[in-house]
């Protein structure tokens, strides 16, 4: 009988550095993404704290203008690409095979490659701080401010190259998960029986598959403008800065749905379990998710209402943006209806999911406001937008991620995060979110623009800025409590049963943590809530056979080598093209080795 | 090229009935569609917007490019033959057709290099004007894709000469490569039509 | 099935909590009406239309938000597990409810979108007949204002008459900026290579605060301007004065300053009537009469001017105006001269 090979140290199994560097096990890769994502979340948080400290008082002197501009640029890039997306990827990695009754993803080595490419892109982008300065053109990088004429430091090249590498990582992962979900479902697991989290995963995959190429081209064009004097975005040579905006936002808008849908999936899993009743309106929640993704490609110019768009495009994009509120609302109402008539157990995971509903709604409502172009002319580029985006991304995405962490922690580690500390964690984050970001609505409506390193007193902005800063320190305290909770919990002996919360989905049908091969016997699925159905109909789990003849793919170092080759390609693009050549050679070698190595 | 290593993949039952790797290629090509669509959009947006010459009408050589287009189209025919050969156990037909495809691909690339060098000689570079920037970027990336395809097919050809050949599912590998190759060809048809044919 | 007394009580509690929060919100918004750059105190026809639209949107959106928050709180309180509580009900859906909460957001969406289209049509497009034409050009990090009809060029302080429409053509010489004076109009970006336009008719005299609202580089935070809306008579007088040549220097100090200005400053600045004809920096012909300098950063007094002249980049990081390494005597002279340029 295979021992439970977990993903975090359990003492008696292989856990060397080499194991982690060569793993192709989706659970370990999930942990790698999770730990990296969380560290970058903290880095992004430090960037934010510095920003908030600078803005606590008028005419602050904590950082100078140039460093401030680097900080807000990197804060956004870090949070979006190095924190929230990898944390989402962490859940995808760990849970997708388990939830669909598979033993791993379709392409385990490609999966490992995605992680190592992510890490090299993340390190490359972050290293810009010490190599001449981080990019300071904003995460949205509007031309021509980002051209070599106006953005003299190489930070902008770290931006293009770094994001291109990160995009490659996300694309590979998305392809992998899409094939896995389409092709590797357990017997009886039809698409309309998939957990909502899995539906959100595949929707996110397609959002990325179709939007990443657009920004890749934009980044290539910007890199070429800066380094090879092409004429795409600079008006001085006939280019058009508005082209950059279109290309960026055709990616950028679907990207925000990439950020929120995984958390919406998590909430859709957590609410039913702790309400002790099935998700209300499953089909509607699934179709709403798909609708949001499709419509998500039709709203991008709502980021451009003030750029001088013609009347007709303004009206069209306003209508599509308003339309996207409808499926979003459907999800909210379905979640509330899931709570209705329930026997709700308020674990920390449930606190976070319920808070998601409230806080995401606040963010969604402010979004509806600037979906109206005339209203947007007073809100665009002010702190009102900063308030909106942080309510949906922090109050939404991050709260959802924490819900998932508390919910699946026993499954992944066999231990329970302390509920008492967890509640403190929750309240600090909940109060902190509102203290930090609610006043920003007032600041924006009182005329405070965004992306300013300082402001004068006398505008009525002083008090709310101070309140927001206090809120940001409250958030920091919340994170600290979580980190302490984590380390305290990891010192315990693992003791969690298979299904401590009474969940209905397949990951709860195996041990906590699962063995390396996930399931001793691949389950058969008879219902949308398989474990509840089997429980209610007294269906026994099939016994594991005497000898398990399960072949799992062996570890491989070629993903790591290939990633290092790609990193060299990137470094060469920032220094000498000879290094790019070397990188290409390493990549070719790695592909050759990868193709030829035995996998059985 | 994959030898026994992917035998496990080949024998697996899949929920949608499509081989995992085939599905991967299809979805990847969807992504590539958007990639080229964006490059083509950039080209179309800047059509007629160049501040200085040379302009397309002055410099594009349609007869020569028609010839190279024909070559690439023929390579798709030989690719079809390679897939046919692989699926019907005719190893010789597969190898010869693969070789022909590779050679035709290389000839196409040769034409591209010739055209690029001629343009540079006549004063059109990446940085000359909107036409130069968008033309070279679009056709350059297309050429890169052809080049990667040539390397891909060459690896398959070399792999097929080993003792176990491409393994029991070698036909699938050739078919998947065929998907990629046809895609690159279709993209070229679109590029050729938009850049060369329609304006004239 | 009637809700229990407990459920009713907890629902009432939730509603009251949300109402209190809404009331606090209302008070805060009401209190911001006198903020200098507020969006809540419109003083032009177009700004009023936008604000009225926003009030409608705020109410509709606010009702939805309050309802969702109240329901979330109420359900959390009512359906919390407790001994003797009802077992969880197994509902998978409710078609009537689902149709309703699909249709109601659609209706709300339409209620917002239709007036929005109307306001777009009313506030954009062609300016009314007889609008004063102004060209506003964004620079890193200051605003240039030109009145082509009158042939005058100034910077950072716009004067317009009350009750007459103005049409502003928006340009940029470098990166994207945005022209935003909240009390008078919504913002429109100044995109290099494009000629965006905005128009409005101010309806009350006053001095209104504006700020660049598109991140434009190091000193984006320091790119501010004022719009002075004055009576027709005052406006005509201002235009007339602005088109005159620069006042000649009076007194030894100022004359020495003129000497410095027409040599050191001439490369970038224009002082009409002297030999200084540079166009890189703001036009200084009548700089003495402006309320603020350095693009709305500080009051235009001797102390401020001196501080600016001694080290522009210290006040405005990244400033394109170099530090001319003037000694205190030269600064005193220049200040005297510039203050005389009324």
What is the least distance, in Å, from the CA of A450 to any CA of chain B? 30
Dihedral of the alpha carbons of B128, B129, B134, B137, in degrees to the nearest 10: 10
What is the least distance, in Å, from the CA of A593 to any CA of chain B? 10
Q: Which chains contact C through at least 3 pairs of Cβ atoms less than 8 Å apart?
A: A
Q: Which residues contact C60 (CB under 8 A, 6 or more apart)?
A: C108, C111, C112
User: If pLDDT is split at 50, 70 and 90, which confidence band does B89 have?
Assistant: confident
Q: Check if A318 is active-site.
A: no
Cα–Cα distance measured from residue C210 to residue C188, given in angstroms and rounded to the nearest whole number: 12
How many contacts does A have with C, using Cβ atoms within 8 A?
275
**The one catalytic residue among A52, A185, A331, A388:** A331
Q: Check if A533 is active-site.
A: no
Q: Check if A120 is active-site.
A: no
Which residues in chain A have Cβ-Cβ distances shorter than 8 Å to B169? none
What is the least distance, in Å, from the CA of C341 to any CA of chain A? 27
Name the residue facing B23 among A179, A216, A217 (closest C-beta): A179
Beta carbons of A375 and C93 less than 8 Å apart: no
**The one catalytic residue among A185, A253, A277, A390:** A253
Q: How high is the pLDDT of residue C113? A: 96
Q: How high is the pLDDT of residue A2? A: 37
Q: What is the mean pLDDT of residues A170-178?
A: 98
Q: What stretches in chain C show pLDDT beneath 50?
A: none
For residue A568 the two structure tokens come to 């060299």
Beta carbons of B31 and A212 less than 8 Å apart: yes
On the question of pLDDT at B3 being above 70, the answer is no
Which residues in chain B have Cβ-Cβ distances shorter than 8 Å to A105? none
**The one catalytic residue among A257, A351, A383, A407:** A257
Q: How high is the pLDDT of residue A135? A: 97
**The one catalytic residue among A103, A151, A193, A302:** A302
Which residues in chain A have Cβ-Cβ distances shorter than 8 Å to B24? 106-107, 175-176, 179
User: Phi and psi for A117 in degrees, rounded to 5?
Assistant: -70, -40
Name the residue facing C89 among A66, A341, A377 (closest C-beta): A341
Q: Check if A253 is active-site.
A: yes
Q: Check if A75 is active-site.
A: yes
Which residues in chain A have Cβ-Cβ distances shorter than 8 Å to C106? 326
Question: pLDDT over 70 for what percent of chain A?
Answer: 98
Which residues in chain C have Cβ-Cβ distances shorter than 8 Å to A315? 116-117, 120
On the question of pLDDT at B8 being above 80, the answer is no
Q: Which chain A residue is nearest to residue C197, measuring alpha carbons?
A: A308
Asked if the C-beta of B169 comes within 8 angstroms of chain A's C-beta atoms, the answer is no
The 10s digit of each residue's pLDDT in A334-385 is 999 999 999 999 999 999 999 999 999 999 999 999 999 999 999 999 999 9
Least confident of A40-44, B195-199, C311-315: B195-199
Q: How high is the pLDDT of residue C337? A: 96
Three-state secondary structure readout of A200-233: HHHHHHHHHHHHHHHHHHHHHHHHHHHHHCCCCC
Which residues in chain C have Cβ-Cβ distances shorter than 8 Å to A65? 218-219, 221, 317-318
Q: Are C29 and C40 in contact (CB under 8 A)?
A: yes
Name the residue facing B35 among A213, A238, A595 (closest C-beta): A213
Buried b (16+ CB within 10 A) or exposed e, A247-267: bbbbbbbbbbbbbbbbbbbbb
Q: Write down how long chain B is.
A: 200
On the question of pLDDT at B94 being above 50, the answer is yes
More reliable by pLDDT, A2 or A82: A82
ipTM of the prediction: 0.97
Q: Check if A174 is active-site.
A: no
Which residues in chain B have Cβ-Cβ distances shorter than 8 Å to A230? 126-127, 132-133, 137
User: Considering only residues 277 to 336 of chain C, which have any Cβ-Cβ distance to chain A shorter than 8 Å?
Assistant: 317-318
On the question of pLDDT at B1 being above 80, the answer is no
The 10s digit of each residue's pLDDT in A398-432 is 999 999 999 999 999 999 999 999 999 999 999 99
Cα–Cα distance measured from residue C198 to residue A308, given in angstroms and rounded to the nearest whole number: 9
The 10s digit of each residue's pLDDT in A193-236 is 999 999 999 999 999 999 999 999 999 999 999 999 999 999 99
Asked if the C-beta of B14 comes within 8 angstroms of chain A's C-beta atoms, the answer is yes
Three-state secondary structure readout of chain C: CCCCHHHHHHHHHHHHHHHHHHHHHHHHHHHCCCCCCCCCCCCEHHHHHHHHHHHHHHHHHHHHHHHHHHHHHHHHHHCECCCCCCCCCCCCCCHHHHHHHHHHHHHHHHHHHHHHHHHHHHHCCCCCCCCEEEEEEEECCEEEEEECCCCEEEECEEEEECCCCEEEEEEECCCCEEECCCCCCCCEEECCCCCEEEEECECCCEEEEEECCCCCCCCHHHCEEEEEEECHHHHHHHHHHHHCCCCCCCCHHHHHHHHHHHHHCCCCCECECECCECCCCCCCCCHHHCCEECCCCEECCHHHHHHHHHCHHHHCCCCCCCCCCCCHHHHHHHHHHHHCCC
pTM: 0.96
Which residues in chain A have Cβ-Cβ distances shorter than 8 Å to B3? 596, 598
Question: pLDDT over 90 for what percent of chain A?
Answer: 95
Cα–Cα distance measured from residue C185 to residue A563, given in angstroms and rounded to the nearest whole number: 51
User: Considering only residues 153 to 192 of chain C, which have any Cβ-Cβ distance to chain A shorter than 8 Å?
Assistant: 170, 174-176, 178, 180, 182, 185-189, 191-192
Q: How high is the pLDDT of residue B167? A: 81
Mutation to test the A interface, candidates C214, C312, C318, most A Cβ within 10 Å: C214
Q: How high is the pLDDT of residue B4? A: 36
On the question of pLDDT at A13 being above 60, the answer is no
Q: How high is the pLDDT of residue C47? A: 98
Q: Write down how long chain A is.
A: 600
User: If pLDDT is split at 50, 70 and 90, which confidence band does B11 have?
Assistant: low
The 10s digit of each residue's pLDDT in A96-113 is 999 999 999 999 999 999
C-alpha dist (Å) from residue A577 to A569, A574, A580, A583, C37: 8, 8, 5, 10, 50
Touch of C by A (3+ CB pairs closer than 8 Å): yes
Helical (H) or strand (E) element with A425: helix A419-445
> Mean pLDDT of all residues in chain A?
95
- What letter would DSSP give residue A344? B
Q: Which residues contact A420 (CB under 8 A, 6 or more apart)?
A: none
On the question of pLDDT at A283 being above 90, the answer is yes
User: Considering only residues 123 to 162 of chain A, which have any Cβ-Cβ distance to chain C shorter than 8 Å?
Assistant: 137-138, 142, 144-145, 150
The 10s digit of each residue's pLDDT in A420-476 is 999 999 999 999 999 999 999 999 999 999 999 999 999 999 999 999 999 999 999
């Amino acid at each position: 009988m295979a021992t439970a090979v977990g993903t975090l140290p359990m003492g008696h199994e292989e856990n060397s550095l080499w194991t982690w560097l060569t793993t192709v096990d989706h659970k370990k890769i999930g942990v790698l993404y999770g730990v990296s994502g969380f560290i970058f979340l903290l880095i992004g948080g430090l960037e934010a704290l510095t920003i908030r400290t600078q803005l606590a008082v008028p005419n602050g002197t904590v950082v100078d203008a140039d460093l401030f501009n680097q900080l807000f640029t990197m804060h956004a890039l870090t949070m979006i690409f190095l924190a929230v997306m990898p944390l989402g990827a962490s859940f995808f990695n760990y849970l997708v095979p388990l939830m669909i009754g598979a033993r791993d993803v379709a392409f385990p080595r490609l999966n490992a490659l995605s992680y190592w490419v992510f890490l090299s892109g993340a390190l490359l982008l972050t290293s810009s701080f010490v190599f001449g300065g981080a990019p300071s053109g904003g995460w949205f990088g509007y031309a021509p401010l980002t051209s070599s004429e106006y953005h003299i430091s190489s930070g902008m090249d770290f931006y293009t190259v770094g994001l291109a590498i990160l995009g490659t990582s996300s694309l590979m992962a998305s392809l992998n998960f899409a094939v896995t979900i389409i092709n590797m479902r357990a017997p009886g697991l039809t698409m309309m029986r998939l957990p909502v989290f899995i539906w959100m995963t595949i929707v996110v995959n397609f959002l990325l598959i179709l939007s990443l190429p657009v920004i890749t081209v934009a980044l290539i064009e910007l890199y070429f403008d800066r380094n090879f004097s092409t004429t795409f975005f600079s008006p001085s040579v006939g280019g058009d800065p508005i082209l950059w905006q279109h290309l960026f936002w055709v990616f950028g808008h679907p990207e925000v749905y990439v950020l929120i849908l995984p958390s919406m999936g998590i909430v859709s899993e957590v609410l039913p379990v702790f309400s002790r009743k099935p998700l209300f309106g499953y089909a509607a929640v699934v179709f709403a998710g798909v609708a949001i993704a499709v419509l998500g490609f039709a709203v991008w110019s709502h980021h451009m209402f003030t750029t001088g768009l013609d009347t007709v495009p303004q009206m069209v994009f306003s209508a599509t943006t308003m339309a996207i509120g409808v499926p979003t609302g459907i999800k909210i109402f379905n979640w509330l209806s899931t709570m209705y008539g329930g026997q709700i157990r308020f674990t920390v995971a449930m606190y976070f999911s319920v808070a998601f509903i409230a806080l995401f709604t606040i963010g969604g409502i402010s979004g509806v406001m600037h979906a109206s172009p005339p209203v947007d002319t007073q809100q665009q580029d002010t702190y009102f937008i900063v308030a909106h985006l942080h309510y949906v991304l922090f109050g939404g995405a991050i709260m959802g991620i924490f819900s998932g962490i508390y919910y699946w922690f026993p499954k992944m580690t066999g231990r329970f995060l302390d509920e008492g500390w967890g509640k403190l964690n929750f309240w600090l984050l909940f109060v902190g979110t509102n203290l930090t970001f609610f006043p920003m609505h007032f600041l924006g409506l009182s005329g405070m623009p965004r992306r300013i390193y300082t402001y004068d007193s006398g505008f009525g902005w002083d008090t709310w800025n101070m309140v927001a800063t206090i809120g940001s320190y409250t958030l920091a305290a919340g994170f600290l409590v979580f980190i302490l909770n984590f380390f305290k919990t990891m010192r315990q002996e693992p003791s969690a049963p298979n299904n401590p919360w009474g969940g209905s989905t397949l990951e709860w049908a195996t041990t906590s943590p699962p063995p390396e091969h996930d399931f001793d016997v691949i389950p058969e699925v008879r219902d949308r809530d398989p474990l509840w159905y089997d429980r209610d109909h007294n269906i026994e789990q099939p016994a594991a056979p005497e000898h398990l003849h399960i072949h799992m793919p062996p570890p491989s170092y070629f993903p790591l080598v290939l990633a290092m080759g790609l990193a060299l390609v990137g470094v060469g693009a920032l220094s000498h093209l000879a290094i790019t050549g070397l990188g290409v050679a390493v990549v070719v070698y790695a592909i050759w080795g990868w193709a030829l190595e035995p996998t059985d | 090229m994959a030898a026994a290593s992917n035998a496990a993949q080949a024998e697996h039952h899949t929920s949608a009935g499509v081989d995992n790797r085939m599905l991967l290629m299809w979805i990847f090509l969807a992504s590539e569609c958007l990639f080229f669509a964006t490059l083509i959009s950039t080209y179309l947006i800047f059509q007629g917007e160049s501040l200085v010459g040379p302009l397309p009408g002055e410099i594009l050589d349609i007869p020569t490019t028609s010839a190279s287009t024909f070559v690439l189209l023929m390579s798709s025919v030989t690719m079809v033959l390679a897939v046919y050969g692989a699926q019907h156990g005719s190893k010789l037909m597969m190898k010869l057709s693969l070789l022909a495809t590779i050679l035709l691909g290389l000839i196409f690339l040769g034409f591209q290099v010739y055209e690029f060098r001629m343009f540079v000689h006549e004063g059109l570079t990446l940085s000359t004007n909107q036409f130069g920037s968008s033309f070279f970027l679009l056709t350059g990336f297309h050429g890169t894709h052809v080049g990667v395809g040539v390397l891909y097919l060459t690896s398959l050809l070399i792999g097929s000469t080993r003792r176990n050949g491409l393994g029991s599912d070698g036909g699938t590998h050739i078919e998947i490569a065929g998907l990629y190759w046809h895609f690159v060809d279709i993209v070229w048809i679109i590029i050729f039509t938009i850049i060369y044919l329609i304006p004239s | 099935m009637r809700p229990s007394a407990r459920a009713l009580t907890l629902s009432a509690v939730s509603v009251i909590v949300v109402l209190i929060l809404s009331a606090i919100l209302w008070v805060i918004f009401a209190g911001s009406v006198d903020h200098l750059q507020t969006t809540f105190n419109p003083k032009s026809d177009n700004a009023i239309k936008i604000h009225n639209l926003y009030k409608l949107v705020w109410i509709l959106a606010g009702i939805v938000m309050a309802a969702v928050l109240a329901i979330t709180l109420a359900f959390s309180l009512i359906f919390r597990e407790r001994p003797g509580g009802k077992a969880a009900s197994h509902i998978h859906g409710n078609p009537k409810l689902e149709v309703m909460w699909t249709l109601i957001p659609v209706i709300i969406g339409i209620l917002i979108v239709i007036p929005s289209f109307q306001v777009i049509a009313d506030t954009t497009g062609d300016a009314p007949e007889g609008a004063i034409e102004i060209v506003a050009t964004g620079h890193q990090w200051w605003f240039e204002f030109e009145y082509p009809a009158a042939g005058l060029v100034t910077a950072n302080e716009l004067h317009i008459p009350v009750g007459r429409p103005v049409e502003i053509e928006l340009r940029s010489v470098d990166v994207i900026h945005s022209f935003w004076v909240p009390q008078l109009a919504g913002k429109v970006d100044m995109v290099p290579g494009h000629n965006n336009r905005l128009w409005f008719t101010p309806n009350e005299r006053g001095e209104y605060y504006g700020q660049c609202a598109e991140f434009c580089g190091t000193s984006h935070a320091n790119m501010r301007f004022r719009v002075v809306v004055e009576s027709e008579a005052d406006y005509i007088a201002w235009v007339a004065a602005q088109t005159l040549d620069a006042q000649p220097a009076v007194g030894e100090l100022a004359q020495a300053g003129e000497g410095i200005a027409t040599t050191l400053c001439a490369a970038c600045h224009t002082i009409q009537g002297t030999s200084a004809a540079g166009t890189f920096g703001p036009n200084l012909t009548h700089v003495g009469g402006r309320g603020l300098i350095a693009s709305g950063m500080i009051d235009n007094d001797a102390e401020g001017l001196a501080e600016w002249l001694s080290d522009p980049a210290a006040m405005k990081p990244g400033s394109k105006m170099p530090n001319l390494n003037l000694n205190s005597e030269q600064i005193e002279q220049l200040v005297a001269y510039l203050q005389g340029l009324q």
